[in-house]
Structure 1
Amino acid sequence: MRVFLRLLRYAAYLGVAGILIGAAALGTAYWLIAPRLPSVDVLKDVRLQVPLRVESADGKLIAMFGETKRTPVRIEEVPLQLRNAFLAAEDADFYKHSGIDPSGILRAVWLTATTGRKQVAGGSTITQQVARMFFLSPEVSYTRKLSEIFLAFRIESALSKDDILALYLNKSFFGHRSYGIAAAAEFYYGKKLDQLTLAECAMLASIPKFPSTGNPLSRPERAKERRGYVLGRMLDDHYIDQAQYSAAMAEPDTAQAHEPPVEVDAPYFAELVRLEVMERLGNNALTDGYRVRTTLDATLQEAANNALRNGLLLYDQRHGFRGAEGHADLAVDATPAQWNQALAPYRPLAGLVPALVTASGKDSATLYLADGQSILLELPALQWARRYLDDDHRGPAPKAASDVLKAGDVVRVTRDDKGTWTLSQLPNAEAALVALRPDDGAVVSLIGGFSFARSKFNRATQSARQPGSGFKPFIYSAAFDRGFTPASVLNDAPVSFPDPSRPDGVWTPKNDDDTFQGPIRLRDALAKSVNLISVRLLDAISVRYAHEYMSRFGFSPAQIPQSLSMALGSAAVAPLAMARGYAVFANGGYLIDPYIVSEITDRDGKVVYHADPAVVCHSCTDHPPLPPASATPGPLGIGIANATDAADATHSAGRTIDARNAYLVSSLLRDVIRRGTGAAAMSLKRNDLAGKTGTTNDHRDAWFTGFNSTIVASCWVGFDDFSTLGRGEFGAKAALPIWIDFMRTALKDVPEQPFDMPPGIARVRIDPANGLLAGADDPNAILEVMKTEDAERLATQPPPGQDSTRQHEAYDVF
């Protein structure tokens, strides 16, 4: 007995000694490690990475930028059932312990000692995991484990249990770039947290242990097994009863990828916004949870997308079918699995769906789609698909479906307005369309190409294309500033100018149709887009004057050639720059700066930026003047006038041309639509539209830019490699239909807005033959508008015939 007591006493001594040694070792470890531990106070105001959210003017999602998908939530927003699932899976005693689970640690130590493995299950509480997530590396070592334990104690003393759990739920990685429970619920199930079922809660709680290899998309069977484990733990811990457990175990898992629901298709616009936000807020703008409200109108953007894509497809069909996009050699008895394999390299683009021809005969062809359905295209639906030969020629109409489609061909199909599938093809030509408000420059729609997935190059802002005749209104404006009037008569006749750059040393401009009309009034000349009149007009006012004058429309000097070719639109501009220039006519003479961001708020809803654009103010008496435009590109890639700061200071846009000048040019541009090259726009049945077509040499560029007092839109069509669009593809044929389709939506239910005549404009009767004032009894007289001083000057000129020499010289010079 004495021996037993003696042994017991020795055991007690050893136990106490062990405890003292362990405490000393732990104290020494703390003394060594604690000074190097970070402060946990930063967890009181954690700024988790949240993607940049870009929205339209009415709050619809355009895009989200950032490597991580995360939507932080407060613990009160997490349903109790979901919280319990995580507690059962990770730390059932979370609300009871002080940061660590001694039994779990001892179990982990025992397993490490007996198995020799460095990584064993158990041992880390939720608090310890939070410490590891925010402060420690994934290194496996005793030092890191001790640091984790010490940090857990500090976290428990600094934060409440609910705060710690909220950090864990918002920081955890759930696979597929999803961080945080809210993002995971949205990605895997497309649901908000309060919409999750018990089985879905258990599945989400099972993912953080193996986020990449145990999520329901990567390893569904393993994930379902893990879900069962979590449900079993919830049952054991009395979070659920047997009936709930059985029902959840029987529930099939419906997880699938749910990307954020983009509501507005505007990737070119979104990329511009991303660049501007990063310029304003730095690189962290993509992860700091900012929300950007833009100027984009969702309805108008959809209209722009539809109009541009339909216009390009119609252009493409006019020039014939270029053949299959690809071909697969398939056996006659090929299976749907083999069909899917043949379609795998192809993805839908801009509504054009890839399809595999599985059979083709005389009257029809059968095509297979990646979603498993087969469609039938009959011969009448293929009549447009005459073989493309070159830009100006097509082959004969197909007499059988097999003339167009062969078994194994991969082609594109799309649905028409009636839901019927039709043959299509990816167009080689490109287009761009941009629309803005002329009163403040807000960009309401912008599309920079047929498909952002195919080409990231933004033709609406980054291109430098010749506008052709679309540039003539600016020349006419300069001429009106030098004493010309809409009634001025110029001679449409052959003319030559010395040009050392040409082999023969002479430049001989021509009209599009190689004909001449003789003396013609400026109003008619612009309506008919007579080239030689613009050249003579520019020669009369001087290239130097016109070159300087162009800055009034926001063009930088580098964009404009200092030669007579300026009159024919040889400048290098983008559609956005053209829309900005035409806005000067639309708003009565003011230069506005296009902008795309209205407001930026941080993750807490605080406004960190609010746009304050210079706005046209017709009632203001003092407008800041605008000096010549700077060559420095603005945020949208165009030259911004140096006086923008002055304009912003008064919140009033600067006047850049006389209101009367703007009215006269607009008056001529209304005639372009009423009876000129833009007459097709009269299909909109409005009398408040003005605009101008543009076509360059060899039909390389087709333009139409037009407006009323509420919106300006510019459309360009062409090839990126400057190839010809083909004979007859003028601006009126290739670009104007796109503009019309867009404006049909943009102006729907918008009352007509007449262009108000400003003071100082006279309405006079003129002789259409010579542009001079007509007598009161002249039966051929027509009404014309011009500046009052110009009308008074004409009134002092002698009647026709009394100074025929002067009149002849006028025709000859001009």
Structure 2
Amino acid sequence: MISMIQATFKTFKITVYLIFSAICFVSLIFSGVTLCLIPNLPAVEEIQDIQLQVPLKIFTEDGKLIAEYGEKHRTPINYHEIPTNFVNALISAEDNRFWEHQGVDLIGLARAAFQLATTGSIKSGGSTITMQVAKNYFLSREKTFSRKFNEILLALQIERSLSKEQILELYLNKIYLGHRSYGIAAAARTYYGKPVQELTLAQTAMIAGLPKAPSAYNPIRNPERAIERRNWILDRMLALNYITSTQNVVAKQSPVTAKYHAPKSEIDALYAADIARAEALNMFPDDIYTGGYKIFTSINSTQQAAGLEAIATHLEDYSKRHGYLGPEDSVDITALLNTQDSKTDLQSLTALLKDYRQVNHLIPALVWEVTNDEANLISRNGDLISLPTKQLTWARKYISADKKGPRVRKASDVLASGDIVRVYKDQETDEWRLGQLPKAQAALVAINPKTGAINALQGGFEFYSSKFNRATSARRQAGSAFKPFIYYSALEDGFTAASIVNDAPVVFQDKQLETAWRPENAGGKFYGPTRLRQALYQSRNLISIRIVQTLGIKQTIDTVKKFGFSEQHLPKDLSIALGSAAVTPLELATAYSTIANGGTNITPYLIDHIEDFNGNIVYQNPNTQHATRTNDNSDPSNNKEADKTESSTPFGDHTPSAQSIEITSEKPEIDPRSIYIITDMMKDVIKLGTGRRAKELDRDDIAGKTGTTNDQVDAWFSGFNGDLVTTVWVGFDSPSTLGRNEYGGRAALPIWIDFMKKALPPYESNTKQPEGIVTIRINPTTGHRALPGEKDAIFEIFRSEHVPPPPEEDNARPVLIDQGHPTDVLDELF
């Protein structure tokens, strides 16, 4: 008996020794591994200064989101913004002892070790939320023992450095939840289109189930498995007393309401956003898409929306004027129509439209039946549409810009079964209409002439159809929209608004040309001696040419350059008088701004300022820090210091790598008196001349000029008041005629009018007359000072040194060529 006790005791001692030795050995190994791994772990300071990868966001001046750039959709939120239900759901699903452990859950690790020992594979990692933070922020996702050791050590270090709330905040902002969404705020927007604070309990549990396997439990792709995971989490929440039985039952009965919600902008200004993005990339090339930067532009959301609508409306109107271009595509739907299942029919028909996206308000639709009286269609959205023949009468076949096919007498003249077309709802009648994507393009730029802020910029019909920005990069001939700068050159040389120049034929011989150059006015008419004012608002080509002839090419170019035009793009021949200079809409709007503000060059800018992730301003456009002299001397910005403000590029100190703009920022002396006279003459373009359609605005403070190039290839209108300058261009990307009679006054001016209706302030801008301006009565035929009591005399404004002398001393500038007779006929075509 004693020997048995002794033997047992001996065995016990050996066992204890062996266990102690094993513990010491394991401890030694663990300590060695720990000492080896700790130097490679991040410092406490690095843990406390974790930076999330947050996409770049671009906003309007009034804080509306334009665009978001970055591979990861993420909207970081603070812990106090996270609903309690979400915290509880997550802890129930991922780590129910989160509030108790110190970063490592020994029970969970033991369970994982047991699974490894019994199955030979790792079924679960036993990871706590803290360990997942360690893995997500600092470690790889490989399943190795060394990575697991690092994860454990780093989790312990994180728990010592951060509070539980901070750890949860990091986790909930970092985790990947499917559809490029990182963090719960982005997931709530992606799956439910609303903030996380507005999610129901069922929706909260659904998202809380995603971290385990975002693809497997995706409620959009795998709704059945997502419901199973959601219900399991709800049961866990009930077991842990986070919710009541009633809440559990109600939430389980909730249907799956998740669907994909793409990040939505609040205003369509993608052409402007692309410029801002490119410029910011130059400034912050390393982390512009991940650093959480916010760009605040000068874009005014109201004006931008007005510009987009005006361009869309009138490009479609232009397209319809010239006939129906035909269907975008055609498919054989005979087999689908022969099936007996009408529900399957509709689903199958709409499926054929899945690759056609909506463009502006034009929705893709499929024609499935056509009779003589109507066509029946189904839209991409599933709307059943009937188009009677009377609504298709505009859709005569397009043959050329100047020719259409025969009249439409029945619906089958236009549409056929299987056609894929565009439809839209008329806002006034709420009826469906047939539309089409226009082939012509347009651009619009609106600038505040006092500051240079670009209030609106649209570079085409629709950004995703064509990302080429015509507002900044399409260099096209300006036509007669360039003439105000030619006339300013004349005023600077001693001409007056009353000077008489003969509108008569002229022929130029040039050995370099195969034939003689015989420039004409639009319509081919000549009108004889004409006052300069009348010549501008009637857009007389021959008079512009004679002005440049008198001034000389070099003097004309030297004067025109004062408005910011690049000399390399100015022609060195008489064609400059007709607007052969190739300019972008932004350049022309910038030059017109100098007229609108009374003679001060401005540098247009798009970026107002940029903020970093923490809201600190890391870039402030220098143009926004200075006032600019205007033509209203009562304006507080009227000061000499403003003239010293310069910037190296049109958008501040950094030029976009793409869509670069060449506009000089020099500030030469421009006579405000000549500017005042030119502005007054340009007001007559609207009151009496080629821009008369703009009279519908019923304002006395607007001025402008139409422009059309040979064969109506480019159509322009640029106009302004003291608060806003807007330039509109219409044309084809590959230059070709817009069609007979598609002049600036018809193709471009309606866009300008519709835009200005919504963009102009309700009050008229006050333009103070500069010193040195004199108003006298003149004879409208001769341009001379009128005799006392002379009938038909009119008032004209002059610079004081150029006032015509009294009739008995009159030596006014003579007619340059004495040929022809004046007439009151207005060239309405130009």
Give the TM-score normalised by the residue count of structure 1: 0.94
Question: CA separation in 2, counterparts of 1:399 and 1:357?
Answer: 18
Equivalent in the alignment of 2:89: 85
Pick aligned residue for 1:391 from 397, 401, 407:
401
Does 2:611 align with 1:622? no
Secondary structure in 1 matching 2:473? coil
The amino acid that maps onto 1:745 is: K
Q: Does 1:606 align with 2:619?
A: no
Give the aligned partner of residue 171 of structure 2. Answer: 168
Is the partner of 1:286 in helix, strand or coil?
A: coil
What does residue 646 of structure 1 align with? none
Structure 2: distance between partners of 1:468 and 1:627? 31
Give 1:703 shift: 0.4
Q: What SS is found at the alignment partner of 1:639? A: coil
Residue 605 of structure 2 corresponds to 595
| TM-fit CA distance, 1:630 | 8.9
CA distance in 2, matches of 1:17, 1:269: 72
Q: Secondary structure, in 3 states, of the residue corresponding to 2:700?
A: coil
How far apart are 1:499 and its partner, in Å? 2.9
Distance change >3 Å, CA 626–CA 812, structure 1 → 2: farther
Pair 291,548 (structure 1): closer, same or farther in 2 beyond 3 Å = same
Residue 569 of structure 1 and its aligned partner are, at CA, apart by 0.7
The one-letter code of the counterpart of 2:87 is R
User: Who is 1:648 aligned against?
Assistant: none
Matched, 1:776 2:788: yes
Q: Secondary structure at the match of 2:288?
A: helix
Distance 1:809 1:63 in 2: 57
Distance 1:139 1:182, change over 3 A: same
Deviation of 1:315 after TM superposition, in Å, equals 0.4
Paired position in structure 2 for 1:56:
60
* Equivalent residue in structure 2 for 1:639, among 650, 662, 679: 662
- How far did 1:307 drift? 0.7
- Name the counterpart of 1:260: 263
Please give the secondary structure, in 2, of the residue aligned with 1:779: coil
8 Å CA contact 2:442, 2:728 repeated in 1: yes
**SS of equivalent to 1:285:** coil
Cα 1:193–1:24 change in 2 (3 A) is same
Aligned to 1:718: 731
Separation in 2 of the partners of 1:283 and 1:480? 52
What letter corresponds to residue 734 of structure 2 in structure 1?
Answer: D
Whether 1:225 and 2:225 are equivalent positions in the alignment is no
8 Å Cα contact 2:601/2:665 also seen in 1: no
CA RMSD between the two structures: 2.3
Asked whether the equivalents of residues 558 and 631 of structure 1 are also in contact (C-alpha less than 8 Å), the reply is: no
For the residue of structure 2 that corresponds to 1:472, the secondary structure is: helix
Residue 242 of structure 1: CA displacement?
A: 2.6
Aligned-partner residue type, residue 509 of structure 1: P
Contact 2:629 2:642 in 1 (8 A): no
Gap change, CA 1:369 and 1:628, over 3 Å in 2: closer
Give the secondary structure class of the aligned counterpart of 2:36. Answer: helix
From 345, 348, 365, the counterpart of 1:338: 348
Deviates more, 1:557-566 or 1:247-256: 247-256
1:24-43 map, 5 Å: 24-43=28-47
2:107 to 100, 103, 112: 103
Q: Does 1:454 align with 2:454?
A: no
Q: 1:277 to 1:668 in 2, by over 3 A?
A: same
User: CA contact under 8 A between 1:202 and 1:230: conserved in structure 2?
Assistant: yes
The one-letter amino acid paired with 2:673 is R
- Please state if 1:766 is matched with 2:778: yes
Work out the CA distance in 1 between the residues paired with 2:386 and 2:808: 74
Deviation at 1:139, TM superposition (A): 1.7
Does the Cα contact within 8 Å between 2:74 and 2:186 map onto a contact in 1? yes
**Residues 189-247 of structure 1, C-alpha deviation per residue, up to 9 Å, x if partnerless?**
22323222222221111101112332212322222111122222222323223332222
Distance 2:650 2:629 in 1: 26
**Alpha carbons 1:447, 1:460 under 8 Å: kept:** yes
Q: Kindly indicate whether the alpha-carbon contact (under 8 Å) linking 1:700 and 1:718 is maintained by their aligned counterparts in 2.
A: yes
1:796 CA displacement:
8.6
Q: What is the CA distance between 1:286 and its match in structure 2?
A: 2.4
Looking at structure 2, the residues matched to 321 and 584 of structure 1 have their Cα atoms a distance apart, in angstroms, of 42
1:162–1:548: structure 2 CA closer, same or farther, 3 Å change rule?
Answer: same
1:310 and 1:48, CA in 2 relative to 1: closer, same or farther beyond 3 A? Answer: same
2:475 corresponds to 1:429: no
Match of 2:825 in 1: none
Partner of residue 288, structure 2: 285
Which of 232, 244, 257 is the equivalent residue of 2:247? 244
* Matched-pair contact (CA < 8 Å) for 2:502–2:816: no
1:205-220 alignment runs, 5 A limit: 205-220=208-223
Distance 2:389 2:254 in 1: 49
Q: Percent identity?
A: 44
SS in 1 for 2:582: coil
1:318 matches 2:321: yes
Residue 733 of structure 1, aligned match among 746, 749, 755: 746
Paired AA for residue 501 in structure 1: Q
Conserved 8 A contact 1:461-1:575: yes
Aligned to 1:650: none
Mapped to 1, the partners of 2:292 and 2:422 lie a distance apart of 39
Distance (whole Å) between structure 1 residues aligned to residue 645 and residue 81 of structure 2? 56
Structure 2, gaps ≥5 residues long: 340-344, 822-830
Partner of 2:72: 68
Of 13, 28, 40, 2:17 maps to 13
Pick from 493, 502, 506 the counterpart of residue 495 of structure 1.
506
For 1:530-679, what aligned pairs fall within 5 Å after superposition?
A: 530-613=540-623, 614-618=626-630, 619=633, 620=638, 622=640, 635=656, 637-643=660-666, 654=667, 656-679=669-692
Determine if the alignment matches structure 1 residue 193 to structure 2 residue 196: yes
Q: Distance in 2 between matches of 1:302 and 1:656?
A: 36
Structure 1 counterpart of 2:58, one-letter code: V
Q: Which amino acid counterpart does residue 721 of structure 1 have in structure 2?
A: S
Check whether the contact 2:503–2:820 (CA below 8 A) recurs between aligned residues.
Answer: no
Asked if structure 1 preserves the Cα contact closer than 8 Å seen for 2:85 and 2:204, the reply is yes
Partner SS state of residue 507, structure 1: coil
Distance 1:797 1:52, change over 3 A: farther
| Displacement of 1:516 | 0.8
2:410 is matched by which residue type in structure 1?
A
CA distance in 2, matches of 1:90, 1:542: 82
Name whichever of 464-473 and 756-765 sits farther off.
756-765
Are 1:371 and 2:401 matched, yes or no?
A: no
C-alpha offsets along residues 591-616 of structure 1, whole Å, 9 cap, x if unaligned? Answer: 11111222322222222233342432
Q: Is the contact made by 1:669 and 1:691 (CA closer than 8 Å) also made in structure 2? A: yes
Q: What letter matches 1:465 in structure 2?
A: R
CA contact (8 A) 1:626 1:656 kept: no
Counterpart CA distance in 2 for 1:365 and 1:54 is: 43
* Paired position in structure 2 for 1:786: 798
Q: Choose the corresponding residue for 1:757, options 739, 759, 769.
A: 769
Aligned-partner SS, 1:497 = coil
Separation (CA, whole Å) in 1 of partners of 2:114 and 2:241: 29
CA shift at 1:716, angstroms?
0.5
Provide the rounded CA distance (Å) in 1 between the counterparts of 2:605 and 2:814.
Answer: 48
- Whether the 8 Å CA contact 2:328–2:419 is kept in 1: the answer is yes
Tell me how far apart the structure 2 counterparts of residues 731 and 375 of structure 1 sit (CA, whole Å). 36
